[in-house]
């Protein structure tokens, strides 16, 4: 599954990944800085989503659990930091408390739902997001109600841009490290067959719990940065439809793959923001696309590309080529 | 000397229905216990209680004097009880070697498992370690499931209909492999199977279950001769 | 107090009708049918547009119910059928369908709410201090009628018996020679018709909009979890319990957080009985 970390080939691979992610951060910064207007907004959203979705890629991508709660963690970071800033706390402390507070919420959600299986998990996290949205809409004295609330400037615009660009590379780097650790293997084992994972000794509930809490941190931090850039936040940005679109992004990108959050965000944001097809149409197209990808290319766009690239090449004589897609069907 | 595995009056109820109704037995290291009985007699449920898949409603399973039941599957595995399933279950897209490494990592420091190559050797899986599990033949997949269980370094191995879907030659090879596991690794084995030609020569002792309770227990020869068993289950076999 | 209970029963009937549709589909196909909300929305809009075009309300209602059945079967034929061997993909496909159906409604009818007028709008039943508007009474009547009809179908006809067999054990049913595809379509048809009934019955009390069914769907899922996935009578009983709880919560705590009380119940079930739920799952897998 993963490249052994302590071999020369492993280190070359890690170094190349680190270099690639650094380059990605630099490109992201240049784009954030250089692109203006509507398109600038698109770049921002893609970067913010990619940071947030890196967390979702742990639970849903590696672990195979469809979490609809992620958008609430995203919103939690945004609202908590905005509220604390409004109380006059210094920005760094606000960010820390917002991320910490959201992780605490993530822990509670995980304690309730990490022992439930796929379908219940989807229903439960969906409901959690619906209730969170209900609170954001109704607790008007804290959240500003349905029309949202302004966010005080905590970071200068340039600081926010630097943080966004750096966080993109660092988040993906953290995911790379996690997915190559035993933690990543355990999550993959849960996705393949949770009962079997338990019976080889994986404490599945605890692994899911940790994944959920860690993922909420990514979501919350992305929310903090989003609030800083946007200057205003509203419940309509954190509905369960948004939560579902996050899931769509991971599915389209290719769950569990390093760049899935980035590719998925680009496709989803691109469809909803760039292409003006009239109300609803872009979401219909996304829905159809998502179902087609789920049915036809279970490993998403990135998985599909890998499979295509591998096909024409003859396999090396004594190394049997891994055949993920086919093998999975045989097993199920 | 006390037995390795002690099953004491285990009961498992679903609602009003007792799937397992007060089963007790003991098993020593290196012993092979055959578990037979008609469909619905509670064999698989009992296996599930032993493996931590199900919590018992009453009674305990102790391994080396420590209670191992009712604490979840992963703790049972860490205590030294591993199982396989009736239907083939493997991490289909992984290679067998990767699967074994995961299992080994989960019990690190608690038990010592045989090496990958030793396990492959015992089970006759040489040369198949680096193939994706999903691409193995169905007989090899059944053995791979046992390999996965052995990688957790178990002291008790529970096999749920391991010979299902195998032809005579394959099930004979399986029986030999299970015997090797018991003899060389000193693992106590519990085997559930319907195939008497497979089970009877393999088992040291046989437990016959009916309606959740133990109907008879003894050596394969004694069981063959037991009239109650013949009437209720073996029929003309 | 009695007024609150009556409101709770109204909500409960609504939840039950929606939840029975969900649990039927879950029973035969093991799909959490999030798209059911989209079916309800389209059925409600169909009723609205037929009635708006001048047809009598009864015709419009029938058109809406038929539309619900049709759309529901379409989701099965076009999407769910293809993932029958991959239950893990079911939530994703269901949510994709929901996105499509809601946005089709948005595209066709716009985002603003429409109000559905019925001949019994102005009726108000009164018994002492308790009053019940005609639309709510109609919903209770419709719900009871359709659930009784469903009960007769499941218990008295061979079609219904076959469906119960499929819900019990898919493999065994297939071995008995029950045509599985027809059962799947039938479950979705019944679920869709019930969704249509729900839409016609509660459209008039709320507004018809693309997102009108979201809250009801979530509550209905809680009902399904409460009553046990795949159990029709569990869904009816669970629906009434949840309806009364949400009704009480809305009356005595806060109306804005009505659906949150459903969530509390869900959390409570999952905290108290994860083992029970887990064992249903384990049985399904093993």
Query: Touching B: which chains, 3+ CB pairs < 8 A?
Result: A, C
d(CA B77, CA C213): 46
Instruction: Give me the pLDDT at residue A50, please.
Output: 97
Residues of B in contact with A199 (CB under 8 A): 51, 53, 73-74, 77, 82-83, 85, 149
* Residue A216: φ, ψ to 5°: -65, -30
Instruction: Give me the pLDDT at residue A106, please.
Output: 95
CATH number of the domain encompassing residue C9: 1.10.3470
Q: How many domains does chain B have?
A: 1
∠ CA A199-A202-A205, rounded to 5°: 110
Q: How many domains does chain C have?
A: 1
Instruction: Lowest mean pLDDT of A141-155, B60-74, C115-129, name the range.
Output: C115-129
- Residue B169 forms part of a structural domain: yes
Task: Report ipTM (2 d.p.).
Answer: 0.90
Longest Cα pair distance anywhere in chain B, in angstroms?
Answer: 50
Residue of B78, B82, B106 best to disrupt the A interface, most CBs of A under 10 A: B106
Which has more pLDDT, B192 or C281?
B192
Residue of A203, A319, A327 best to disrupt the B interface, most CBs of B under 10 A: A327
Instruction: Give me the pLDDT at residue C274, please.
Output: 56
Instruction: Give me the pLDDT at residue A314, please.
Output: 44
Over residues C23-48, the pLDDT tens digits come to 888 888 878 899 999 999 999 999 99
Sign of the Cα torsion A44, A50, A52, A53 reads: positive
- Look up the domain containing B170 and give its range: 28-41+72-234
Does the distance separating the beta carbons of C286 and B85 come in below 8 Å? yes
A36 touches chain C (CB under 8 A): no
- Number of other residues whose CB lies within 10 A of the CB of residue C140: 17
A97 touches chain C (CB under 8 A): no
| A250-258 mean pLDDT | 91
- Look up the domain containing C221 and give its range: 2-285
Does the distance separating the beta carbons of A332 and B102 come in below 8 Å? no
Q: Please choose, from the candidates A258, A254, A264, A64, the residue with its C-alpha nearest in 3D space to the C-alpha of residue A180.
A: A258
| A62-76 mean pLDDT | 94
Which has more pLDDT, C122 or C18?
C18
d(CA C45, CA C37): 12
Does the distance separating the beta carbons of A244 and C103 come in below 8 Å? no
Give exposure, A54-89, as e/b (b: 16+ Cβ within 10 Å). bbbbbbbbbbbbbbbbbbbbbbbbbbbbbbbbeeeb
Instruction: Give me the pLDDT at residue C278, please.
Output: 36
Reduced 3-state DSSP string for chain A:
CCCCCCCHHHHHHHHHHHHHHHHHHHHHHHHHHHCCHHHHHHHHHHHHHHHHHHHHHHHHHHCCCCCCCHHHHHHHHHHHHHHHHHCCCCHHHHHHHHHHHHHHHHHHHHHHHCCCCHHHHHHHHHHHHHHHHHHHHHCHHHHCHHHCEECCCCCCHHHHHHHHHHHHHHHHHHHHHHHCCHHHHHHHHHHHCHHHHHHCCCCHHHHHHHHHHHHHHHHHHHHHHHHHHHCEECHHHHCHHHHHHHHHHHHHHCCCCCCHHHHHHHHHHHHHHHCCCCCCHHHHHHHHHHHHHHHHCCCHHHHHHHHHHHCCCCCCCCCCCCCHHHHHHHHC
In chain C, which residue's Cα lies nearest the Cα of B54?
Answer: C279
Instruction: Give me the pLDDT at residue C141, please.
Output: 84
Which tokens sit at C261? 């009380």
Question: Closest Cα of chain C to A331: distance in Å?
Answer: 11
A327: pLDDT strictly greater than 80: no
Residues of B in contact with A257 (CB under 8 A): none
A124 touches chain C (CB under 8 A): yes
- Residue B81 forms part of a structural domain: yes
Instruction: Give me the pLDDT at residue C264, please.
Output: 86
**Partner residue opposite C282 with nearest CB, options B53, B86, B87:** B53
Compute CA A25 distance to the chain's CA centroid, rounded to the nearest angstrom: 17
Instruction: Give me the pLDDT at residue A36, please.
Output: 85
Beta strands of chain B (E only): which ranges? 5-14, 17-27, 32-36, 58-63, 66-67, 81-83, 156-160, 188-192, 205-210, 213-218
Half-sphere exposure for B176 (CA within 13 Å, toward CB):
10
Instruction: Give me the pLDDT at residue B72, please.
Output: 87
Residues of B in contact with C85 (CB under 8 A): none
d(CA A251, CA A232): 29
Compute CA A50 distance to the chain's CA centroid, rounded to the nearest angstrom: 6
Over residues A279-288, the pLDDT tens digits come to 678 888 888 8
CATH number of the domain encompassing residue B154: 3.40.50.300
- Residue B186 forms part of a structural domain: yes
B86: pLDDT strictly greater than 70: yes
**Partner residue opposite B152 with nearest CB, options A195, A201, A320:** A201
């Amino acid at each position: 599954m993963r490249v052994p970390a302590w071999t020369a080939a492993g280190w070359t691979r890690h170094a190349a990944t680190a270099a690639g992610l650094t380059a990605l951060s630099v490109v992201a910064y240049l784009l954030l800085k250089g692109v203006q207007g509507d398109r600038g907004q698109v770049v921002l959203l893609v970067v913010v989503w990619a940071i947030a979705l890196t967390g979702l890629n742990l639970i849903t991508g590696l672990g195979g659990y469809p979490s609809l709660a992620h958008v609430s963690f995203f919103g939690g970071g945004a609202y908590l930091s905005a509220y604390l800033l409004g109380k006059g706390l210094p920005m760094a402390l606000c960010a820390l408390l917002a991320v910490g507070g959201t992780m605490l919420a993530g822990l509670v959600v995980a304690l309730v739902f990490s022992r439930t299986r796929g379908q219940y998990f989807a229903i439960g996290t969906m409901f959690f997001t619906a209730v969170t949205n209900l609170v954001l809409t109704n607790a008007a004295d804290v959240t500003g109600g349905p029309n949202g609330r302004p966010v005080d400037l905590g970071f200068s615009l340039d600081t926010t841009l630097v943080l966004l660009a750096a966080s993109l590379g660092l988040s993906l780097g953290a995911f790379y490290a996690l997915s190559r650790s035993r933690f990543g293997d355990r999550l993959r084992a849960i996705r393949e067959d949770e009962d079997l994972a338990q019976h080889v000794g994986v404490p599945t509930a605890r692994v899911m719990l940790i994944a959920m809490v860690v993922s909420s941190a990514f979501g919350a931090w992305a929310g903090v940065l989003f609030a800083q850039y946007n200057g205003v936040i509203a419940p309509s940005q954190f509905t369960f439809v948004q939560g579902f679109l996050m899931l769509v992004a991971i599915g389209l990108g290719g769950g569990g793959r390093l760049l899935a959050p980035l590719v998925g965000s680009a496709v989803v944001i691109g469809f909803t923001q760039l292409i003006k097809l009239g109300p609803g149409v872009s979401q219909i197209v996304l829905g159809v696309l998502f179902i087609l990808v789920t049915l036809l290319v279970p490993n998403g766009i990135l998985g599909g590309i890998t499979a295509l690239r591998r096909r024409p090449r003859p396999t090396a004589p004594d190394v049997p080529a891994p055949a993920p897609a086919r093998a999975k069907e045989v097993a199920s | 000397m006390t037995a390795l595995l002690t099953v004491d009056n285990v009961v498992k109820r679903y609602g009003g229905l007792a799937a397992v109704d007060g089963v007790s037995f003991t098993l020593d290291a290196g012993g092979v216990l055959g578990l037979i009985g008609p469909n619905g007699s509670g064999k698989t449920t009992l296996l599930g209680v032993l493996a931590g898949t199900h919590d018992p409603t009453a009674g305990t399973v102790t391994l080396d004097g420590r209670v191992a039941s009712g604490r979840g599957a992963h703790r049972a595995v860490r205590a030294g009880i591993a199982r396989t399933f009736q239907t083939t279950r493997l991490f289909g897209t992984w290679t067998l070697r990767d699967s074994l490494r995961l299992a080994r990592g989960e019990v690190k420091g608690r038990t010592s498992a045989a090496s990958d190559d030793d396990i492959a050797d015992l089970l006759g899986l040489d040369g198949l370690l680096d193939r994706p599990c999903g691409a193995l033949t169905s007989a090899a997949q059944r053995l791979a499931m046992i390999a996965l269980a052995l990688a957790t370094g178990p002291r008790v191995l529970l096999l749920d209909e391991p010979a299902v879907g195998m032809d005579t030659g394959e099930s004979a090879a399986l029986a030999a492999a299970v015997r090797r596991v018991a003899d060389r690794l000193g693992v106590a084995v519990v085997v559930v199977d319907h195939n008497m030609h497979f089970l009877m020569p393999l088992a040291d002792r046989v437990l016959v279950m009916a309606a959740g309770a133990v109907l008879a227990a003894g050596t394969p020869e004694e069981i063959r001769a037991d009239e109650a068993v013949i009437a209720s289950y073996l029929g003309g076999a | 107090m009695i007024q609150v209970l009556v409101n709770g029963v109204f909500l409960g009937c609504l939840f039950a009708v929606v939840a029975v549709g969900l649990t039927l589909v879950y029973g035969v196909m093991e799909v959490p049918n999030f798209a059911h909300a989209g079916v309800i929305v389209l059925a409600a809009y169909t009723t609205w547009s037929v009635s708006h075009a001048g047809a009598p309300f009864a015709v419009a209602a029938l058109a809406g119910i038929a539309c619900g059945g049709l759309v529901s079967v379409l989701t099965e034929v076009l999407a769910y059928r293809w993932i029958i061997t991959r239950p893990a993909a079911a939530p994703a496909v269901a949510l994709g369908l929901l996105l499509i159906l809601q946005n089709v409604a948005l595209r066709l009818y716009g985002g603003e709410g429409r109000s559905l007028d019925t001949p019994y709008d102005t009726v108000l039943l009164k018994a002492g201090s308790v009053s019940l508007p005609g639309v709510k009474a109609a919903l209770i009547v419709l719900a009871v009628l359709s659930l009784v009809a469903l009960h007769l179908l499941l218990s008295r006809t061979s079609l219904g018996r076959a469906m119960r067999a499929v819900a019990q054990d898919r493999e065994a049913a297939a071995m008995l020679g029950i045509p599985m595809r027809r059962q799947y379509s039938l479950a979705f048809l019944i679920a869709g018709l019930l969704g249509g009934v729900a839409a016609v019955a509660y459209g008039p009390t709320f507004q018809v909009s693309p997102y009108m069914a979201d809250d009801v769907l979530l509550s209905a899922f809680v009902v399904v979890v409460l009553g046990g996935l795949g159990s029709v009578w569990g869904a009816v009983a669970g629906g009434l319990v949840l309806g009364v709880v949400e009704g009480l919560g809305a009356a005595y705590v806060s109306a804005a957080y009505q659906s949150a009380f459903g969530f509390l119940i869900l959390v409570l079930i999952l905290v108290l009985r994860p083992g029970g739920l887990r064992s249903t799952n384990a049985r399904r897998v093993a």
